A and B are shown apart, each in its own frame.
Chain A
């Protein structure tokens, strides 16, 4: 009905427009004002929404969620950056839109050595940068050298530590030549990468933006080889090899990309452009979606899920997301220095109730740490809900320590409605099952991060999204001294298991090592897993070629916008 009204108004608008020259010659200024007012009113009534226009324009309007800090692939550190960068740059491999399996990207084929340590990539001859330069293997070597350059201080450089001798160059100060890093350009279109260990998920790893190439002469032109914060990422300067080029960037307002005619696979690309809107407020985003301003939202406010499920079931989507939502214990601070208390808290957590009544997004309760099915690995369910046992453990602890009740415990989390809800629910559960007094303390993001890094907490909220589809991305966190551990937990056998898995190429053997890791986590409980993420999002039915994937990666070249038959 709205569309009909729009069409009528549009028609009227055009009629009036055609009268304009006549009016100009005959009217006085009063008429101008009147016409002007009518035009304004009509144009605002009649303006078709972005989604309606998009079928003709083939422009995708994407809710980005936040303004990315970097658009530089070697410095990027966020989901919002990823969503923009994959439009602009393509790596050696690309992803199948449904399964995320590696498919040819810049490399049209590759060979893997018997021992799984040497990968030889054959680059396609027609791959071009957006300024016309051909993409060569030297560009990739340059890029790896750049991100591993200690001067650049890239946050994700460690993703490339899988390359042979990369650490020598990155951390031990040797020069690239002396370190003999395992990335060599055999000729302009042949790239040979040598790894430290056989890594079955290496090709998937290549889809992370840290492995993406950057255009060397652009980097050099802006002096960005070892320097952050240069202007090379601005529209007009940005040179990429992806399906789109950066055409406009208004900070906090919109990032616009347009189709790249020089992209080697340009004929597959249907979209003419994408507009990314960094809307931070979930409510504003939803309003935008409902009025047809956006095709996709980044998130959905948890309180509105029930309503949307009931009223707009075709618009709201629940997609499994490779991530775990959990709490960290500080295992060096009482009362959590005692494993019984940590186990008791785990046993007193009714995960099913949380996902059913609090988060309501169809999340799965987490009964282990690695999400089941990660790269084929499904750990056993070990974390259960058993309030009786929990009470018994606490009683045992209190009796031994000669205490009447547990000391007051502070639960820290970063400010967000969703985290608050979960925290409040757990606060209630632990009070009723364990008699524990939990104090909630929310802090804003930066303060929270530094609190975690300093281990200045007893109990803190955490979340981890996998960077690639293999259990290693989750389990490596609990290695002794890992930068992501932050619990103080350390276990020699756990570290040993991870080492063994890294050098093992037989999948079943690897999984058995991982299983034992999970067992150790369940027995020692340095953490409290709560649920596995589900990505809840609103999506217009006009968006086609968009499939749910575990990493929430959606290659844009397969996306197209089609009108749905019989819409109003």
Chain B
């Protein structure tokens, strides 16, 4: 090798790792202070609710009928509720449930939506038109109504809750995925892959799916709070999680009824709920900005 070509080789090998979309996105996200803060806050809350109930000594369900409605203090950090249960423990436990519902339901809607949308977009033509027609029809369903109907009629199954909510949210995911897939289908690298004789599934999973992840993540981050709100609405009707378990939604509902006599009962769950939702929303916004180079900056 001549020195020139060696130098050239070095230059090439020393140049920064072909900046992938992810790297760029991560850098942009870091720059967005609000989004980064939200991310860490969210991770913090998640850890707190997952590990918290294990390490603190008080159980979320042990009643103390002599000490109902005690304000926050040394023995009970957040006070106690109408049966003397410790609110701090219940908020942590509630967080587990709320986040679990949020994530699992979103995951359900994600899986269904992405699979459906990707297939529809990839197939194109008549099958695509039909599948989207079905989506349009389902879009006309008064969804909250259906979720309520499902929960009322078929009982308060925890699993049913996820499925019901997930089934409601997948439509928009499907639409987004399909739109993206349609666009990607035309891209040159896909044509190249077809030319190379790659199977459809390989193309779908290896080439299209990774490029969908961006918008999907953004949408997912914004779906989780919507799901948590929906769960809170169901709790209002008594259709959410069952006693003695609690979710932030059911805690807030119970607290809102006693706002004037025990404001801490709504303050703490409400605080955690709102902050988590805020964090997720900011994070989602930040991710959207980070992953989409075209969106407004400055």
Consider the complex of A and B and state whether they touch directly, i.e. have CB atoms less than 8 Å apart. yes
Decide if A22 is an interface residue (CB 8 Å cutoff).
Answer: no
Chain B residues lying within 8 Å of A563, measured Cβ to Cβ, are: none
Decide if A108 is an interface residue (CB 8 Å cutoff).
Answer: no
B161-169, B215-223, B236-244, B273-281: which lies at the A interface?
Answer: B236-244
Q: Are A420 and B65 in contact (CB under 8 A)?
A: no
Chain B residues lying within 8 Å of A423, measured Cβ to Cβ, are: 243
Q: Pick the contact of B66 from A307, A357, A440, A444 — CB < 8 Å?
A: A357
Chain A residues lying within 8 Å of B156, measured Cβ to Cβ, are: 442-443
Decide if B258 is an interface residue (CB 8 Å cutoff).
Answer: yes
Chain B residues lying within 8 Å of A420, measured Cβ to Cβ, are: 243
CA distance A415 to B62 in the complex (A): 21
Q: Are B82 and A421 in contact (CB under 8 A)?
A: yes
Chain B residues lying within 8 Å of A441, measured Cβ to Cβ, are: 242
Q: Are B242 and A440 in contact (CB under 8 A)?
A: yes
Q: Are B257 and A440 in contact (CB under 8 A)?
A: no
Chain A residues lying within 8 Å of B62, measured Cβ to Cβ, are: 428
Q: How far is the CB of A483 from chain B (nearest CB, A)?
A: 25
CA distance A487 to B69 in the complex (A): 37
Q: Are B243 and A353 in contact (CB under 8 A)?
A: no
CA distance A303 to B69 in the complex (A): 9
Q: Are B257 and A301 in contact (CB under 8 A)?
A: yes
Q: Are A425 and B65 in contact (CB under 8 A)?
A: yes
Report the interface size class on chain A: 20 to 34
Q: Are A447 and B155 in contact (CB under 8 A)?
A: yes
Decide if A497 is an interface residue (CB 8 Å cutoff).
Answer: no
Chain B residues lying within 8 Å of A303, measured Cβ to Cβ, are: 82, 257-258
The interface bits of chain A over 444-460 (1 if a CB of B lies within 8 angstroms of the residue's CB, else 0) are 10010000000000000
Chain B residues lying within 8 Å of A301, measured Cβ to Cβ, are: 257
CA distance A301 to B262 in the complex (A): 14
Task: Given A283-B257, A304-B258, decide whether A440 and B152 contact each other with a Cβ distance below 8 A.
Answer: no
CA distance A118 to B242 in the complex (A): 55
Minimal Cβ-Cβ distance residue in B for A439? B242
Q: Tell me the chain B residues, 243-278 only, with Cβ under 8 Å from chain A.
A: 243-244, 257-258, 261
Chain A residues lying within 8 Å of B32, measured Cβ to Cβ, are: none
Decide if A358 is an interface residue (CB 8 Å cutoff).
Answer: yes
The interface bits of chain A over 280-309 (1 if a CB of B lies within 8 angstroms of the residue's CB, else 0) are 000100000000000000000101101100
Chain A residues lying within 8 Å of B83, measured Cβ to Cβ, are: 358, 421, 424-425
Minimal Cβ-Cβ distance residue in B for A358? B65
Decide if B63 is an interface residue (CB 8 Å cutoff).
Answer: yes
Q: Majority SS of interface residues in chain A?
A: helix
Task: Given A283-B257, A415-B238, A440-B244, decide whether A425 and B155 contact each other with a Cβ distance below 8 A.
Answer: no
Number of A-B contacts (CB under 8 A): 42
Q: Are B258 and A428 in contact (CB under 8 A)?
A: no
Q: Pick the contact of B65 from A353, A415, A442, A444 — CB < 8 Å?
A: A353
Chain B residues lying within 8 Å of A306, measured Cβ to Cβ, are: 69
CA distance A432 to B222 in the complex (A): 44
Q: How far is the CB of B85 from chain A (nearest CB, A)?
A: 9
Minimal Cβ-Cβ distance residue in B for A282? B257
CA distance A353 to B152 in the complex (A): 33
Q: How far is the CB of B144 from chain A (nearest CB, A)?
A: 17
Chain B residues lying within 8 Å of A444, measured Cβ to Cβ, are: 152, 238
Minimal Cβ-Cβ distance residue in B for A308? B261
Minimal Cβ-Cβ distance residue in A for B151? A444
Q: Pick the contact of A425 from B63, B66, B152, B258 — CB < 8 Å?
A: B63
Minimal Cβ-Cβ distance residue in A for B65? A357
Chain A residues lying within 8 Å of B82, measured Cβ to Cβ, are: 303, 421
CA distance A442 to B151 in the complex (A): 13
Q: Pick the contact of B155 from A307, A353, A443 — CB < 8 Å?
A: A443
Chain A residues lying within 8 Å of B63, measured Cβ to Cβ, are: 424-425, 428
Minimal Cβ-Cβ distance residue in A for B238? A415
Chain A residues lying within 8 Å of B68, measured Cβ to Cβ, are: 357
Q: Tell me the chain A residues, 407-439 only, with Cβ under 8 Å from chain B.
A: 415, 420-421, 423-425, 428
The interface bits of chain A over 24-48 (1 if a CB of B lies within 8 angstroms of the residue's CB, else 0) are 0000000000000000000000000
Which residues of A does B touch, CB under 8 Å?
A: 283, 301, 303-304, 306-307, 353, 357-358, 415, 420-421, 423-425, 428, 440-444, 447
Which residues of B does A touch, CB under 8 Å?
A: 62-63, 65-66, 68-69, 82-83, 152, 155-156, 238, 242-244, 257-258, 261
Sample of 20 A–B contacts (CB below 8 Å)? A283-B257, A303-B82, A303-B257, A303-B258, A353-B65, A357-B65, A358-B83, A420-B243, A421-B83, A424-B83, A424-B244, A425-B65, A425-B83, A428-B63, A440-B242, A440-B243, A441-B242, A442-B156, A443-B155, A444-B238
Smallest CB-CB A-B distances: 5 pairs: A357-B65, A303-B82, A307-B261, A283-B257, A415-B238
